[in-house]
């Protein structure tokens, strides 16, 4: 029998439809005879007396009506409300047809026959398809390997994914979990609905291996609370994509994905202000330095959404430039890739002039603290001197707006990387004090989730290998923000500048890195090893790296800060030096960097000008 089912299931779609139609063509006349036999209580009964070859009319008319309503076009395994509605309409039409034959005296049809026939016909169409569906699923499903799943959310998305899971080879839905009290104890799609607390206690007895979050529109904060409530349970948390990815109203098993830690640490984003996003971009020529980096590439993605006249990508890494250029080519904006270094002022000026650039977002910089600590001259040259030459080029070519992307590591830094960024800020502040035509702004923020310098990709790789997950110190904390939110806020902050402004992005609450590691391990379906050595993946403390701080700050002077019109953007008023003094200092820095011999002299300059700098 299974061989026959497999043979039919392997037929082309058109041949399957023909098989169903022929089956109905044979059965419909038998059902008409059956209702006459039941009605007159004898098997040997004349059917539709007066109409010769009635069985041909009944069979072909019934099949034709079903075909016109696309009953045969529907996939039997997707047995849903739409399919049943089509069958109901087709049955009704045939009932009306029988009454019409009776009314026209074309055949003898008792008054009850059409209704009886309609009931039997609907039953046949329902049960025959249900049996086909059941037999097919029974034949092909690998039930012994299916993961038992609880679905959190009994809304439309939850119902759709439950039906999809029932037809899948990989998952078996066991129950629903929902916060709504009025649903508790009820059944939906054959699955009972439990409140969260009761469900948490029953996960083990039900043998549930995964919890699937089927709430596409839930906020990040709520999602985080739900996941934390199941931390003690030995289950993996999965989710459906965001509501914007489910606009067609259909959910499939392929939509299921692992919960991304980025979705939990990032706050619910504040809607951006369109006028700020477009001010320095729409119908303007924009250039992004470091366009292939984590922040630079996301800035480019955000910029092309707001209709710039042209986007110039300036990047010294060939592969990074190739990647972002290829990604943006089909976005409807003219994109110009330029391979070059920000330390080459002559080339910068030529590019700015050639393309008449109006806005520059300067994201080019070295970001890895230990690497810059080991290569201080190159770090200062690329980040500090590179920024000076970039902003000098912008001012000399009358660029309208120059925005420096800075970091929280520039505040009381304990490393060369942070100090190089603060020196870059000082140069921009000093140059802005001369009141050039170019509006110069600085935007400072903390870590972005998922960037090449973030711990998140590192932890993912370590977990995939079975651990250990390496954390520098039990108490190390960091601020985090998603890359898209950071890029949008950078653009909006830059649009609010008046010259020499230092903007700070509200990073929310700091996160302990060890807690981040534990949560990522749990989301991957494992347990972090505890003090008794029980668990799946160990967390190993490696000690602070050269130049690394336990915590980062966004403010040098917490008293000189004011709120802007944007609730996530602050403005800081900080001490800076005259441009003449800064210019002389940068000349000396450049000389030291090119010589690469006197590190002590380099450090002494940083100690003098970078407030709170503590060289390791």
Predicted confidence (pLDDT) per residue in 477-514, tens digit: 887 777 888 888 899 988 998 888 888 887 777 788 88
Q: Left if phi > 0, otherwise alpha if psi is -120 to 50, otherwise beta: which for 70?
A: left
pLDDT tens digits along 70-123: 887 766 655 567 778 888 898 899 899 889 888 888 888 888 888 998 898 888
Give the 3-state DSSP-derived string for 373-408, with helices as H, strands as E and coil as C: HHCHHHHHHHHHHHHHHHHHHHHHCCCCEEEEEEEH
**Between 571 and 257, where is the model more confident?**
571
Q: Measuring CA to CA, how many Å separate 88 from each of 61, 92, 116, 128?
A: 15, 6, 14, 15
Q: How far apart are CA 216 and CA 246, in angstroms?
A: 8
Give the chain's length.
616
Q: Measuring CA to CA, how many Å separate 89 from each of 20, 29, 58, 84?
A: 18, 19, 17, 9
Does residue 142 have a pLDDT over 80? no
Does residue 470 have a pLDDT over 50? yes
pLDDT of residue 299: 94
Does residue 7 have a pLDDT over 70? no
pLDDT of residue 253: 57
**Between 202 and 590, where is the model more confident?**
590
Q: What are phi and psi of 287, to 5 degrees?
A: -125, 140
Task: Tell me the domain boundaries of the chain.
Answer: 2-140, 143-259, 274-451+478-507+552-609
Q: What residues pair up with 118 in beta bridges, in sequence order?
A: none
Contact 376, 370 (CB under 8 A): no
Q: Measuring CA to CA, how many Å separate 299 from each of 67, 407, 426?
A: 53, 16, 23
What is the distance, to the nearest Å, from the Cα of residue 487 to the centroid of all Cα atoms in its chain? 16
Cα end-to-end distance, the chain, whole Å: 77
On the CB side of 542, how many CA atoms lie within 13 Å of its CA?
Answer: 10
Residues ≥6 apart with Cβ < 8 Å to 310: 285, 286, 333, 334, 335, 336, 355
Give burial (CB, 10 Å; 0-12/13-18/19+) of 37: middle
Annotation: CATH topology of 143-259: Rossmann fold (3.40.50)
**Between 258 and 36, where is the model more confident?**
36
Residues ≥6 apart with Cβ < 8 Å to 122: 87, 88, 91
pLDDT tens digits along 221-243: 788 788 878 877 777 788 876 54
**Between 57 and 344, where is the model more confident?**
344
pLDDT of residue 398: 94
pLDDT of residue 420: 95
Predicted structure pTM score: 0.66
**Between 40 and 81, where is the model more confident?**
40
297: nearest Cα among 262, 330, 263, 321: 321
pLDDT of residue 245: 44
Q: How far apart are CA 465 and CA 521, in angstroms?
A: 12
Topology match between the domains 143-259 and 274-451+478-507+552-609: yes
The CATH homologous superfamily for domain 274-451+478-507+552-609 is: NAD(P)-binding Rossmann-like Domain (3.40.50.720)
Give the 3-state DSSP-derived string for 522-543, with helices as H, strands as E and coil as C: HHCCCCECCCCCCCCECEEECC
pLDDT of residue 74: 67
Q: How far apart are CA 244 and CA 227, in angstroms?
A: 22
pLDDT of residue 244: 41
């Amino acid at each position: 029998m299974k061989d026959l089912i497999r043979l039919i299931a392997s037929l082309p779609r058109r041949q399957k439809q023909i098989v169903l139609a022929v089956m109905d063509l044979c059965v419909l006349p038998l059902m008409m005879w059956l209702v006459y036999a039941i009605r007159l209580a004898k098997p040997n009964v004349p059917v539709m007396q007066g109409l010769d070859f009635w069985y041909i009319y009944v069979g072909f008319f019934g099949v034709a009506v079903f075909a016109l309503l696309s009953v045969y076009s529907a996939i039997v395994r997707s047995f849903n409300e739409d399919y049943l509605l089509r069958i109901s309409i087709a049955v009704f039409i045939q009932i009306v047809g029988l009454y019409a034959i009776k009314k026209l005296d074309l055949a003898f049809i008792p008054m009850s026959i059409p209704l009886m026939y309609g009931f039997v016909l609907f039953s046949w169409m329902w049960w025959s398809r249900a049996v086909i569906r059941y037999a097919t699923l029974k034949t092909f499903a690998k039930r012994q390997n299916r993961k038992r799943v609880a679905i959190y959310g009994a809304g439309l998305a939850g119902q759709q994914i439950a039906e999809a899971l029932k037809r899948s080879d990989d998952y078996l839905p066991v129950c629903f979990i929902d916060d709504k009290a009025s649903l508790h104890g009820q059944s939906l799609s054959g699955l009972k609905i439990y409140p969260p607390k009761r469900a948490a206690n029953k996960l083990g007895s039900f043998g549930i291996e995964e919890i699937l979050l089927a709430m596409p529109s839930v906020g990040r904060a709520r999602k985080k609370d739900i996941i934390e409530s199941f931390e003690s349970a030995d289950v993996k948390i999965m989710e459906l994509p965001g509501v914007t990815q489910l606009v067609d109203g259909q959910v499939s098993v392929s939509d299921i994905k692992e919960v991304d830690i980025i979705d939990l640490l990032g706050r619910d984003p504040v809607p951006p202000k369109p006028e700020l996003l477009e001010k320095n971009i729409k119908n303007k020529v924009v250039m992004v330095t470091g366009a292939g980096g984590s922040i630079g590439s996301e800035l480019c993605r955000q910029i092309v959404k707001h209709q710039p006249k042209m986007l110039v990508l300036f990047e010294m890494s060939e592969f990074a430039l190739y990647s972002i250029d290829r990604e943006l080519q089909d976005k409807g904006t003219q994109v110009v890739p330029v391979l070059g270094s920000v330390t080459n002022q002559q080339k910068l000026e030529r590019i700015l002039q050639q393309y008449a650039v109006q806005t520059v977002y300067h994201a080019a910089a070295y970001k890895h603290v230990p690497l810059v600590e080991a290569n201080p001259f190159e770090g200062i040259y690329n980040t500090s001197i590179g920024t000076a030459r970039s902003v000098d080029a912008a001012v000399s070519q009358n660029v309208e707006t120059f925005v420096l992307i800075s970091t929280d590591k520039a505040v009381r830094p304990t490393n060369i990387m942070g100090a190089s960024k603060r020196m870059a800020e000082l140069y921009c502040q000093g140059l802005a004090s001369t009141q050039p035509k170019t509006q110069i702004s600085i935007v400072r923020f903390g870590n972005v989730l998922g960037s090449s310098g973030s711990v998140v990709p590192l932890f993912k790789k370590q977990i995939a290998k079975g651990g250990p997950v390496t954390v520098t110190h039990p108490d190390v904390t960091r601020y985090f923000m998603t890359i898209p939110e950071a890029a949008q806020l950078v653009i909006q902050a830059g649009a609010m500048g008046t010259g020499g402004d230092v903007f700070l992005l509200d990073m929310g609450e700091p996160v302990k890195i060890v807690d981040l590691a534990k949560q990522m391990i749990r989301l991957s379906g494992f347990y972090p090893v505890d003090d008794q050595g029980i668990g799946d993946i160990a967390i190993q403390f490696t000690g602070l790296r050269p130049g690394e701080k336990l915590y980062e700050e966004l403010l040098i002077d917490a008293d000189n800060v004011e709120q802007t019109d944007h609730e996530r953007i602050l403005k800081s008023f900080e001490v800076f030096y005259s441009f003449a003094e800064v210019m002389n200092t940068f000349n000396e820095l450049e000389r030291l960097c090119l010589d690469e011999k006197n590190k002590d002299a380099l450090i002494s300059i940083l100690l003098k000008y970078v407030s709170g700098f503590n060289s390791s």
